[in-house]
């Protein structure tokens, strides 16, 4: 074994180990940054030695090509729905029916949490992950394999190789990852997602697996589907097998002989479930013995051997004491209700967003009203309605302030929108702080040392009121701040200086252009390569980019034609920030051939391009960069040490290009 091969194997093992600690045990031992470094090292090594890159390497999790649409998968055995029950009496009825049908046989019930996510079926052929599909209508669902491959607790390869293996379970999102996603939305001035289940379902329907990968979905396996080559007699044996095969099985599973014990167990979770790091909406009770299940059979709609026990949604009545106004990054004023504390879904709720003026009007919410608040399946407390009958006459209709509570500038209502905005711009400390937070975050300019508290201090002490001023901070200014030592001041200055090299994509994301998230920022940076081309682009030109819609194009164009934004960019240029992207020439610049409708596969080690770069370039030119050679492949671009793909291309008569020939084809140099 060569040193590289050994290191690759070692890195795969290490990364899988830390993945498991992070995703399954929720006890990470290393920082995200240290983890990224391992992954980076592996990626680099695999690019140098593609012959050692295995299909189940952790690098394969980052997601392949976006797909054009969803194929339909017919389930081998239908994924039937489950009957619901809502009370102890319903469960006793269920037990009675089963005992009657089984004529006095001893019964064991297995009771599991009902995870509030998206049901999924994963098929493995000879131990390799083949296809994953949503439940759909029960008979057939959507093929979402490309996205499932990015989920860390979906094994890509099983330790054994049964001819056909099917795991069924639930895709879900943790509360923490859901909150993180919504923070990102809020930072970009976008509406938050309603709940983790909707967000999980939406993420699985993304065409681009890289975006899905960023959302950090997870998977609990809860049953075997139809299998060939494995034998189990009970459900518990099936769960054990799933766990042995590397699936994550929820740990809170118990079995009971009597229905009263089942009911007690279900009730014990009614409040405790709110302490879990994921949403549940009930319990599932299953007959353990598979032979008994067969005897029980199914109705037209659902199996007779299983029932769900649903928890009631938790609502509470409380008084809305007052309404605060929060000022966002784009000056948006968001009304937030202060409530008399009320215990809901295991937590004390004392604040709830009222979103905007329309929300308050539509629900006729007044200050002093009694309101119904809900927190079931919703992490964010939600004001369901006001109770006009409970009014005493002292309630007040809420009016938005005419001036910003942070800076005193006039407030304006959007022309056609539902939002009020502060017009203070960079004079508004609330807005400046939000802008700084967005700029310093790890996913944008990644400025080490520039955390929440420092931003507060810098803005409050008037040391910083715009992004360029960050780069003009000096040691003297910093150590004058309270609780700022010389060492941390040095570190902060180093962190700020290092951010100059992040490149155009990260900068665009950091500038918090309305509607522009990280993928669009990268898209723009790759398309234009340098800031000036972007500054000169018309809205029509922007809208031509695949992935940029007309509204987004308009917002980007407006942003770059705002005099203040323009001057910030010029200041950043003068301060020495890198305003280009290390990307290939765009089609417009090369004047080269378009690859529209062509499918290309890249293999081996290239001299000029990293794998990801050339694939991005292929996409920019309208082509499709595929992972494997087939008769539909138009060109194989083969670098050094091209292996089986080159063989296959020759067999199929696919045209093989060297790197130079590829450059010539696209009209580059
Ligand atoms: Zn303001």
Q: What is the pLDDT of residues 525-579, one digit of tens each?
A: 888 989 999 999 999 999 888 778 788 899 999 999 999 899 999 999 999 999 9
pLDDT digits (tens, 9 = 90+) for 313-355: 678 889 999 999 999 878 889 999 999 998 876 678 899 989 8
User: Angle CA(372)–CA(200)–CA(22) in degrees, nearest 5?
Assistant: 105
Q: How far is the CA of 657 from the centre of ligand 1 (A)?
A: 58
Residue 669 has pLDDT above 60, yes or no: no
Mean pLDDT for 109-135 is: 95
In this structure, are residues 583 and 660 in contact, taking their beta carbons and an 8 Å threshold? Answer: no
Render the burial of 196-234: b for 16+ CB within 10 Å, e for the rest: bbebbeebbebebbbbbbbbbbbbbbbbbbebeeeeeeb
Render the burial of 378-388: b for 16+ CB within 10 Å, e for the rest: bbbbbbeebee
Q: What pLDDT is stored for residue 111 in this prediction?
A: 97
Q: What is the CA radius of gyration of the chain?
A: 28
Instruction: Give the single-character DSSP code of 193.
Output: P
Mean pLDDT, all residues of the chain: 87
Q: Which of 288, 284, 276, 297 is nearest to 239 (CA)?
A: 288
Q: How far is the CA of 451 from the centre of ligand 1 (A)?
A: 22
* Beta-carbon-side half-sphere exposure of residue 560 (alpha carbons within 13 Å): 18
Q: What pLDDT is stored for residue 405 in this prediction?
A: 92
Q: What pLDDT is stored for residue 587 in this prediction?
A: 46
Mean pLDDT for 151-169 is: 93
Q: Catalytic one among 108, 114, 462, 487? A: 114
Count of residues in the chain = 669
Q: Which of 3, 9, 34, 2 is nearest to 21 (CA)?
A: 34
Q: Is 631 a catalytic residue?
A: no
Q: How far is the CA of 410 from the centre of ligand 1 (A)?
A: 8
Q: What pLDDT is stored for residue 614 in this prediction?
A: 83
Handedness of CA 48, 51, 53, 55 (dihedral sign): positive
Q: How far is the CA of 481 from the centre of ligand 1 (A)?
A: 24
Q: How far is the CA of 419 from the centre of ligand 1 (A)?
A: 14
Q: How far is the CA of 188 from the centre of ligand 1 (A)?
A: 17
* Beta-carbon-side half-sphere exposure of residue 418 (alpha carbons within 13 Å): 13
Most confident stretch, 58-67, 92-101, 525-534: 92-101
CA distance 1 to 221: 36
In this structure, are residues 635 and 600 in contact, taking their beta carbons and an 8 Å threshold? Answer: yes
Q: What pLDDT is stored for residue 221 in this prediction?
A: 97
Q: How far is the CA of 384 from the centre of ligand 1 (A)?
A: 29
Q: How far is the CA of 404 from the centre of ligand 1 (A)?
A: 4
CA distance 135 to 133: 7
Q: How far is the CA of 440 from the centre of ligand 1 (A)?
A: 21
Q: How far is CA 497 from CA 450, 475, 505, 510, in A?
A: 12, 13, 17, 15
Residues 6+ apart with CB under 8 A from 476: none
Helix axes 518-528, 611-620, angle to 10 degrees: 80
CA distance 388 to 153: 49
CA distance 209 to 146: 6
pLDDT digits (tens, 9 = 90+) for 407-445: 999 999 987 777 899 998 878 999 999 899 989 987 789
Q: How far is the CA of 403 from the centre of ligand 1 (A)?
A: 8
Q: What pLDDT is stored for residue 64 in this prediction?
A: 61
Q: Is 56 left (phi over 0), alpha (psi -120 to 50) or beta?
A: alpha
Q: How far is the CA of 552 from the centre of ligand 1 (A)?
A: 25
- Residue ranges of E strands in 249-397: 254-256, 280-287, 306-310, 315-327, 332-344, 347-353, 366-367, 370-374, 382-386, 396-397
Instruction: Give the single-character DSSP code of 87.
Output: S
Phi and psi at residue 367, in whole multiples of 5°? Answer: -65, 125
Q: How far is CA 458 from CA 94, 463, 482, 652, in A?
A: 64, 5, 10, 64
Residue 103 has pLDDT above 90, yes or no: yes
- Structure-token match 């938005």, residue found: 400
Q: What pLDDT is stored for residue 15 in this prediction?
A: 86
Q: What pLDDT is stored for residue 532 in this prediction?
A: 94
Q: What pLDDT is stored for residue 233 in this prediction?
A: 96
Full set of structural domains in the chain with CATH: 3-62 (1.10.287.610), 73-310 (3.30.470.30), 315-413 (2.40.50.140), 424-501 (1.10.150.20), 504-574 (1.10.150.20), 587-665 (3.40.50.10190)
Mean pLDDT for 484-492 is: 92
Q: How far is the CA of 454 from the centre of ligand 1 (A)?
A: 20
Q: How far is the CA of 248 from the centre of ligand 1 (A)?
A: 48
Q: What pLDDT is stored for residue 255 in this prediction?
A: 96
Q: What pLDDT is stored for residue 378 in this prediction?
A: 47
Q: Which of 352, 379, 378 is nearest to 363 (CA)?
A: 352
- Retrieve residue 139's tokens: 């008979």
- pTM for this model (two decimals): 0.54
Q: How far is the CA of 550 from the centre of ligand 1 (A)?
A: 29
Q: If pLDDT is split at 50, 70 and 90, which confidence band does 661 have? A: confident
In this structure, are residues 78 and 259 in contact, taking their beta carbons and an 8 Å threshold? Answer: no
Widest CA span in the chain: 86
- Retrieve residue 423's tokens: 């017009």
Percentage of the chain lying above the pLDDT 70 cut: 94
**HEC letters along 632-658:** CCCEEEECECCCHHHHHHHHHCCEEEC
Q: If pLDDT is split at 50, 70 and 90, which confidence band does 192 have? A: confident
Among 181-190, 217-226, 347-356, 395-404, which stretch is predicted with the lowest mean pLDDT? 181-190
pLDDT digits (tens, 9 = 90+) for 193-238: 777 888 999 999 888 888 898 899 999 999 999 999 999 999 999 9
In this structure, are residues 168 and 221 in contact, taking their beta carbons and an 8 Å threshold? Answer: yes
- Retrieve residue 467's tokens: 């992004």
pLDDT digits (tens, 9 = 90+) for 563-621: 989 999 999 999 999 999 875 444 444 455 667 778 899 988 888 787 777 887 787 67
Sheet holding 254-256, edge to edge: 84-85, 306-310, 280-287, 109-115, 254-256
- Retrieve residue 191's tokens: 């509406």
Instruction: Give the single-character DSSP code of 250.
Output: -
Q: How far is the CA of 478 from the centre of ligand 1 (A)?
A: 25
Q: How far is the CA of 428 from the centre of ligand 1 (A)?
A: 4
Q: How far is the CA of 426 from the centre of ligand 1 (A)?
A: 8
Q: If pLDDT is split at 50, 70 and 90, which confidence band does 404 have? A: very high
Q: If pLDDT is split at 50, 70 and 90, which confidence band does 84 have? A: confident
- DSSP H helical ranges for 74-228: 88-101, 145-148, 175-187, 196-204, 209-214
Q: What pLDDT is stored for residue 329 in this prediction?
A: 79
Partnered with residue 324 across adjacent β-strands are 336
């Amino acid at each position: 074994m060569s040193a590289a091969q050994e290191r690759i194997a070692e890195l795969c093992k290490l990364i899988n180990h830390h993945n498991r600690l992070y995703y399954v045990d929720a006890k990470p031992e290393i920082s995200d940054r240290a983890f990224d470094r391992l992954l980076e090292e592996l990626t680099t090594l695999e690019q140098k030695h593609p012959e050692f890159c295995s299909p189940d390497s952790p690098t394969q999790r980052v997601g392949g090509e976006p797909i054009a649409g969803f194929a339909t998968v017919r389930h081998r055995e239908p994924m039937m729905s489950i009957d619901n029950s809502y009370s102890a009496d319903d469960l006793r009825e269920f037990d009675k029916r089963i005992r009657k049908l089984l004529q006095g046989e001893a019964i064991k019930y297995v009771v599991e949490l009902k995870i509030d996510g998206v049901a999924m079926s994963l098929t493995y052929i000879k131990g390799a992950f083949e296809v994953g599909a949503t439940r759909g209508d029960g008979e057939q669902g959507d093929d979402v394999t490309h996205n499932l491959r990015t989920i860390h607790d979906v094994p890509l390869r099983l330790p054994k190789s049964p001819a056909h293996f099917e795991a069924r379970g639930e895709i879900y999102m943790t509360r923490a990852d859901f909150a993180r996603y919504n923070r990102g939305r809020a930072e970009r001035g976008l509406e938050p997602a309603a709940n983790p289940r909707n967000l999980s379902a939406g993420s699985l329907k993304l065409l681009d697996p890289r975006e899905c990968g960023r959302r950090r979905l997870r998977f609990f396996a809860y049953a075997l589907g139809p299998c060939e080559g494995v034998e189990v007699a009970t459900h518990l044996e099936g769960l054990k097998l799933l766990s042995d095969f590397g699936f994550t099985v929820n740990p809170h599973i118990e079995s009971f002989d009597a229905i009263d014990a089942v009911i007690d167990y279900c009730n014990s979770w009614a409040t405790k479930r709110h302490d879990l790091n994921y949403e549940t909406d009930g319990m599932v009770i299953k007959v353990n013995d598979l032979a008994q299940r067969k005897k029980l059979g199914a109705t037209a709609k659902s199996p007779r051997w299983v029932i769900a026990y649903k928890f009631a949604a938790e609502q509470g009545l409380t008084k809305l004491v007052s309404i605060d106004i929060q000022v966002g990054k784009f000056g948006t004023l968001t009304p937030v209700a202060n409530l008399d504390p009320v215990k809901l879904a295991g937590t004390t709720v004392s604040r709830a967003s009222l979103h905007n003026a329309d929300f308050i009007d539509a629900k006729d919410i007044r200050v002093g009203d009694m309101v119904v608040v809900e927190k079931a399946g919703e992490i964010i407390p939600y004001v369901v309605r006001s109770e006009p009958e409970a009014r005493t006459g002292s309630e007040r209709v809420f009016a938005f302030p005419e001036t910003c509570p942070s800076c005193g500038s006039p407030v304006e209502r959007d022309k056609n929108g539902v939002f009020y905005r502060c017009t203070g711009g960079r004079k508004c400390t609330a807005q400046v702080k939000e802008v700084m937070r967005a700029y310093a975050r790890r996913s944008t300019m990644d400025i080490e040392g520039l955390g929440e508290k420092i931003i507060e201090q810098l803005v409050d002490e008037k040391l910083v009121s715009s992004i360029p001023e960050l780069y003009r901070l000096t040691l003297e200014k910093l150590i004058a701040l309270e609780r700022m030592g010389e060492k941390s001041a040095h570190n902060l200055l180093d962190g700020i200086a290092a951010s100059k090299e992040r490149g155009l994509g990260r900068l665009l994301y950091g500038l918090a252009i309305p509607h522009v998230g990280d993928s669009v920022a990268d898209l723009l940076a790759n398309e234009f390569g340098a800031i000036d081309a972007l500054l000169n682009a018309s809205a029509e030109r922007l809208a031509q980019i695949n992935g940029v819609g007309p509204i987004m194009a308009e917002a980007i164009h407006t942003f770059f034609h705002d005099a203040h934004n323009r001057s910030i960019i010029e200041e950043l240029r003068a301060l020495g920030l890198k305003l280009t992207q290390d990307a290939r020439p765009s089609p417009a610049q090369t004047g080269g051939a378009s690859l529209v409708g062509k499918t290309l596969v890249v293999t081996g080690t290239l001299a000029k391009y990293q794998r990801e770069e050339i694939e991005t370039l292929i996409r920019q030119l309208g082509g499709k960069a595929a992972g494997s050679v087939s008769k539909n492949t138009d060109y194989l671009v083969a670098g050094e040490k091209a292996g089986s793909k080159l063989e296959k291309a020759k067999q199929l008569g696919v045209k093989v290009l060297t790197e130079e020939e590829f450059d010539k084809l696209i009209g580059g140099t």
